[in-house]
Structure 1
């Protein structure tokens, strides 16, 4: 689902406003409780009561034994807070009036301000006899849920000298336990503020879960899911610690969670770790380091399951060790990405501060390090709440940054950083809507399709970066050239990379051909500048198509296409740039229309294969035939094979066409073979066919289908086809030859033959081009033909002379010991039916 950034930010601001408002109310109430406590309860604690304690963890004592102990065996809580040696402990507190003070007549409460304790038993004694008992704690059922949040006993009849209060605490896994004595009204205010703060916290957690769930469903970013897990378990853990779970769950369920509190601690830690990994995702983070974090989360999950069997006291040291590891790991993550200077990374770092400060103040308050009051007692909760809010803002800023980055990536080339076609099109529309004249220049680098990819990805990217830096240096000095908007690195560019092999420039204003030639000469010089890679100097060329708006065309939506058409329509003898002309564009359109009709003709079997016989000059027997393509177009009539192949190669239809020729040709060959004509059939392959990964598979499948001996099939390739991509050609030819097929080098002598390279190819036949067959008139061609035949004889390959039309030429070839010839002297190319009839009149070849 799409995410509206503006609305999401507004929603976040509303959430923050609610948080701030509720914070203000609760802090005000908490501060009010503190102020009253300072005036009344603090005075009672300091001036009227003694609070002493004795730890009986190693030697359990009963109430009667405790009551008989002399005062000297107790420790004074006002001077030293109780600090248990382990998380499993038992302690007795004794509360009585100080000597010389008047009895207390007001109602008051005694609170053990630690709701995580397992068992708290209050005893009110008068003259040594128990007159009131109350037992609370997270293992004891109470009808009043407030007892789980604020464990306390209320004394409504005042307090006399002969009275004393004993508090017995037994627990497994809790920390120190502050004792608060205050007036009933102060206690009620404190309890209300505590409940409101916890309720506010849970409410904010729920809002954040809903908000981040919406973001997760809309974006699918795992960071949001991990953050939901983290804040959900953080909120649940804090609600358990503060006894709030007893308001939500039945007693048995809440007690079970409290007895297995470490489960939520560990799972929350897992989500915190996974969130850090997914949130701080950068290329700078090594995969092995991420794997360490993911492995650690699995180990922590094992500890979480072990909490089902081990006590809180046993697992607490393990938990703190895991927390220490996570802190060190996350700090290491942050150190890797802080150099990015992204705001959301800083928000993430900032969110840790209130968490550390809050937890530190909370621990210090429970252990006497800082004054104990409402704010310091809830510092950890407030710290987590602040951390959640700041982190949500960090997630929002990260989402905004990702949207900006995504938009940037859609409009810029990932290798060079240049604007791409998606960025170029709005610029053209902007200039058109502003009614400005401009010229679009689309430049192609031919070597980008063949030479550059052979360098490999890394070197190719390096080449393009240096190439476009050179172009930018030249373009920066050209007048009237359009300057694209700055990118995220505050760089400006004049060049847009439209595709892997094409880039574009825009010149604003009317540009004469003379000015365009001057500018393009500068671009040519930039493109042809030598670039050194791994010690090798590389230089490339370029040609361009140009269209001016509105002088050349008013088709404002298709200017890039028109420039491309102008470039395609360039003749080889023209200058390197060509201005768009409508009639040339129409010729290009006709070629594409013809390509579509060719595809339809292939699908409907509207093409034909003609056979031209190949004759053994010594015996006069038919040795084989070459397949020649024919297309009788419904409107254009006869379309030459050269034009068919040219269009098919240009539009990418060549693979489909070749597959059709192979299928139809081998089908006809199979019929001839079954009739006893066991000669060869020659099929021409294009240079483009050598890049078709499915070519060999199609050949093998078709041959197997028609059960034809591979040795009777000859595949012909021109010299140019073998030299355009030598390695690919060699691979395909070798594979075909190993499968038993014969290979012929067609039109031999017409290209720039690399005899060293050809000698490495496993070919079986050389075909002399028809252009050399004026043997009676050209001594030069006579000599070339004789040498070629002699070369074939020495290489052990057959030689076929094409285009033989006279007996005189046939006689000369026979004198040169040329084995095979084809041409009009013997037969013109014939349709399959006619060829079958012609064959039946000829003598068959005898083995």
Structure 2
């Protein structure tokens, strides 16, 4: 059932190619006798028993001897013109030509695979005749272990020599093409690591070996013994070819990802063919025509199943590949028909040659197109982002470089959605990318009316610079109003958002703007300065900002500070200053807060609020915190030798608060120095307390178990409630100095301070006031019930040696105010 369409196509090809090949120069007879011991003399004596045949085809039954008679119908020719009677194939058995004239044997030529050492005689068994001899007949004795058909032709010697050269040329061309394509595919498979090419290369090599065996050309390029051995493995090459074609199809269409069940079935069939090939190799067994047809049907069914799966998943190049394999299947069916004796080899030469070229060209073309598609895809994605489809940074550089070379003014907007990371964490990367594609599609539609004039010059409107940063390039000079207009368009799209499960997932963006040639003279610098403007939007509190040269100076300074921080500790550039703290109730010294200072060799004094954020961002804050703790405890050790009740407050970065290494360091150094942990206070800012609400309580409990006290610094600058702070149980609340500086004149700040003092006392926490600058503030805080004062009115932050001197003076008076008010 499966093979009939292929048989029909082959029949059409046979008709086309054999139409002009019929010869009327000979009359062919066959002798129907069962005596296998007849000699040529017996055959001549029984000449009358020969029966005429309508065609030039010799039908050979398996394992029997056949006698045929050929009467040449040679036209009158000039003297010494030679003719050649030849067979289109040398059978596996033998064929013998007997030239008989006037019932006498003139010449005899025997052809078999073992008796003829000249390779061309194994391809073209023949006998030469002359036209001068009359009453000439040629008898043929043919035997073969399998059924087959032979075609007998009579042509002139010149035609025969031309035919021989032409056929050998085409045999070599076809084999060279098959071997070349096969080896080329194998090399490509190794270099590109594409397994399907290795199966395709093996398929072409196996086809080439089969073709060499069928045509006899194999005797031209390998020794006779090896050629005989390879020819005996016809079944092995058949099974290997089938296995390679199945695995190529499965790998090419990635059936394992499409349908694992069909892939496993195809793999099983391929393994079956491979096992059959191994058995044929070991036993050198021949396979019957019926078995070959069953194998062909199994191969065809497996391939059709694979193509059906590929078709249902709309795999690329499906139909060209399907059409490309039809010639290969027709060639295989023709080989089976040849083995069955249904067709002579000469009828196959033309169709097979055409089918080979069609098959190789189509398959190679598909592989080329697929490779080209991958190369085009590689080139495309080298300039585009795979997730959003936007042009990438490289494409942006190319476009800007083109504009710079043309000296065209242009403006670049870099913008960053603020919710990108949160969307990825909450809904997954796939949804986040889908959301961005929707937003950018809307943005392009919104921008199109504004960009109609630049459509020819600007092939790309939007670009992706990094994971969450994008860019828009506009050609020409823009006014501030136009820039604001574009910012509003971009912001509006993201604020509108995308619907997700019934609600709008909106977003906010920050935008940085730079202009060529105002802000930069090349693409790299223009992008950098636009990104600097984007980064500066956070510090300015606006959602967009135009590049300012001062931004670059600040960025350069931050970079220099970040690099210098690495060596600041080892070069003793850091120092810990101490600012005294006084108990307001009795004017006695309570302790001091350690304040970090950095004296840069080139830049001079660097305030902590400048370099601490840089240290946190660059990951160097851990080493700085360790140094502050160590230095502070060393100072405390020296102080408590004289003033045992002295309290030391040290500021801890929120980045280090929950690190176990910090607790280990405290335990180790407190034990080594025999210091009282209750005399150490670790200060954290209110913003850190709010951000770490979930696990801060556990962290504070860890320090409590250690015996260290914890204070909340800059209280009032955040949005925490006293109820929340009471739950955490801070030992101290430090009121930020912005509420203290003008407390004597600001009723609002007075209310804040008094309320904080009252509520803190009810929670069991002490209140520390920062920024006490004068006596009026000092007395006001005393009146409100504040516990501790700290500020320039008492003392500015001073070096350790100066602090020891100040402590000595302060402890000689009953009330520190006696030192301050003179």
TM > 0.5: yes
Which residue pairs with 1:246 in the alignment? 219
Q: Report the more deviating stretch, 619-628 or 518-527.
A: 619-628
With over 3 angstroms needed to count, the CA separation of the structure-2 counterparts of 1:100 and 1:262, relative to structure 1, is closer
Verify the 8 A CA contact 2:491 2:508 in the aligned structure 1: yes
With over 3 angstroms needed to count, the CA separation of the structure-2 counterparts of 1:221 and 1:612, relative to structure 1, is farther
Q: Report the more deviating stretch, 449-458 or 615-624.
A: 615-624
Which residue pairs with 1:596 in the alignment? 563
Which residue pairs with 1:439 in the alignment? 411
Q: Does 1:647 align with 2:614?
A: yes
Partners in 1 of 2:664 and 2:53 — Cα distance?
96
2:356 to 368, 384, 400: 384
- Cα deviation for residue 702 of structure 1 reads 7.3
Which residue pairs with 1:313 in the alignment? 287
SS at match of 1:379: helix
Q: Does 1:193 align with 2:179?
A: no
- Cα deviation for residue 501 of structure 1 reads 2.5
Which residue pairs with 1:771 in the alignment? 736
TM-score (norm 2): 0.73
1:404 to 376, 389, 392: 376
Partners in 2 of 1:388 and 1:550 — Cα distance?
57
2:623 to 657, 660, 666: 660
Q: Does 1:168 align with 2:143?
A: yes
- Cα deviation for residue 144 of structure 1 reads 1.9
With over 3 angstroms needed to count, the CA separation of the structure-2 counterparts of 1:717 and 1:669, relative to structure 1, is closer
Which residue pairs with 2:127 in the alignment? 154
- Cα deviation for residue 459 of structure 1 reads 2.3
Verify the 8 A CA contact 2:255 2:306 in the aligned structure 1: no
Which residue pairs with 1:27 in the alignment? none
Partners in 2 of 1:603 and 1:72 — Cα distance?
118
SS at match of 1:498: strand
Partners in 2 of 1:643 and 1:280 — Cα distance?
59
Which residue pairs with 2:392 in the alignment? 420
Which residue pairs with 1:120 in the alignment? 94
Which residue pairs with 1:548 in the alignment? 515
- Cα deviation for residue 569 of structure 1 reads 3.0
TM alignment of 1:481-520, pairs within 5 A = 482-483=454-455, 494-520=461-487
With over 3 angstroms needed to count, the CA separation of the structure-2 counterparts of 1:268 and 1:38, relative to structure 1, is closer
Verify the 8 A CA contact 2:243 2:274 in the aligned structure 1: yes
Which residue pairs with 1:576 in the alignment? 543
Which residue pairs with 2:653 in the alignment? 685
Partners in 2 of 1:672 and 1:821 — Cα distance?
21
With over 3 angstroms needed to count, the CA separation of the structure-2 counterparts of 1:283 and 1:257, relative to structure 1, is closer
Which residue pairs with 1:348 in the alignment? 321
**Structure 2: 5+ residue stretches without partners:** 1-13, 76-80, 812-822
Partners in 2 of 1:317 and 1:444 — Cα distance?
66
Partners in 1 of 2:723 and 2:67 — Cα distance?
106
- Cα deviation for residue 626 of structure 1 reads 7.5
With over 3 angstroms needed to count, the CA separation of the structure-2 counterparts of 1:485 and 1:206, relative to structure 1, is farther
With over 3 angstroms needed to count, the CA separation of the structure-2 counterparts of 1:666 and 1:381, relative to structure 1, is farther
With over 3 angstroms needed to count, the CA separation of the structure-2 counterparts of 1:765 and 1:316, relative to structure 1, is farther
- Cα deviation for residue 406 of structure 1 reads 1.2
Q: Does 1:258 align with 2:237?
A: no
With over 3 angstroms needed to count, the CA separation of the structure-2 counterparts of 1:704 and 1:810, relative to structure 1, is same
1:456 to 428, 434, 440: 428
Q: Deviation string for 1:722-773 (max 9, x for gaps)?
A: 655877x67996998999898957435532238999899xx67465233178
- Cα deviation for residue 461 of structure 1 reads 1.6
With over 3 angstroms needed to count, the CA separation of the structure-2 counterparts of 1:419 and 1:778, relative to structure 1, is same
With over 3 angstroms needed to count, the CA separation of the structure-2 counterparts of 1:376 and 1:52, relative to structure 1, is farther
With over 3 angstroms needed to count, the CA separation of the structure-2 counterparts of 1:263 and 1:363, relative to structure 1, is closer
SS at match of 1:402: helix
2:207 to 234, 239, 242: 234
Partners in 1 of 2:211 and 2:370 — Cα distance?
27
Which residue pairs with 2:178 in the alignment? 205
Higher Cα Rg, which structure? 2
Q: Deviation string for 1:127-161 (max 9, x for gaps)?
A: 99999683624xx36412234434x3637699989
- Cα deviation for residue 221 of structure 1 reads 4.7
Partners in 2 of 1:621 and 1:159 — Cα distance?
148
TM-score (norm 1): 0.71
Verify the 8 A CA contact 2:60 2:66 in the aligned structure 1: no
Which residue pairs with 2:300 in the alignment? 324
Verify the 8 A CA contact 1:627 1:684 in the aligned structure 2: no
With over 3 angstroms needed to count, the CA separation of the structure-2 counterparts of 1:602 and 1:202, relative to structure 1, is farther
Partners in 2 of 1:575 and 1:786 — Cα distance?
38
Which residue pairs with 1:558 in the alignment? 525
Which residue pairs with 1:111 in the alignment? 87
Verify the 8 A CA contact 2:392 2:464 in the aligned structure 1: yes
Partners in 2 of 1:426 and 1:203 — Cα distance?
45
Q: Deviation string for 1:699-740 (max 9, x for gaps)?
A: 69979998989x97998654534655877x679969989998
SS at match of 2:66: strand
- Cα deviation for residue 326 of structure 1 reads 4.4
Verify the 8 A CA contact 2:497 2:504 in the aligned structure 1: yes
- Cα deviation for residue 517 of structure 1 reads 1.9
Partners in 1 of 2:805 and 2:294 — Cα distance?
94
Q: Does 1:49 align with 2:23?
A: no
Verify the 8 A CA contact 1:767 1:802 in the aligned structure 2: no
Q: Deviation string for 1:72-120 (max 9, x for gaps)?
A: 9999896998698xxxx53433313689999xx98654536366x4x33
- Cα deviation for residue 350 of structure 1 reads 3.8
Q: Does 1:527 align with 2:481?
A: no
1:145 to 109, 116, 119: 119
Q: Deviation string for 1:803-845 (max 9, x for gaps)?
A: 49799799789x79x8x999899998787999999999999xx
Q: Deviation string for 1:239-272 (max 9, x for gaps)?
A: 2332222222223322222223344444444443
Verify the 8 A CA contact 2:90 2:111 in the aligned structure 1: no
Partners in 2 of 1:92 and 1:757 — Cα distance?
110
Q: Deviation string for 1:551-590 (max 9, x for gaps)?
A: 4444454211121222233465565322223234333333
SS at match of 1:510: coil
SS at match of 2:449: coil
- Cα deviation for residue 428 of structure 1 reads 1.7
With over 3 angstroms needed to count, the CA separation of the structure-2 counterparts of 1:534 and 1:696, relative to structure 1, is farther
With over 3 angstroms needed to count, the CA separation of the structure-2 counterparts of 1:737 and 1:422, relative to structure 1, is farther
- Cα deviation for residue 529 of structure 1 reads 0.7
Which residue pairs with 1:587 in the alignment? 554
With over 3 angstroms needed to count, the CA separation of the structure-2 counterparts of 1:810 and 1:76, relative to structure 1, is farther
Which residue pairs with 2:598 in the alignment? 631
With over 3 angstroms needed to count, the CA separation of the structure-2 counterparts of 1:262 and 1:787, relative to structure 1, is farther
Partners in 2 of 1:458 and 1:228 — Cα distance?
38
Report how many aligned residue pairs link the two structures: 760
Q: Deviation string for 1:373-422 (max 9, x for gaps)?
A: 74633533542333222322332222322222112112222222122222
With over 3 angstroms needed to count, the CA separation of the structure-2 counterparts of 1:827 and 1:271, relative to structure 1, is farther
Verify the 8 A CA contact 2:189 2:198 in the aligned structure 1: yes
Verify the 8 A CA contact 1:122 1:133 in the aligned structure 2: yes
Which residue pairs with 1:751 in the alignment? 718
Partners in 2 of 1:178 and 1:623 — Cα distance?
119
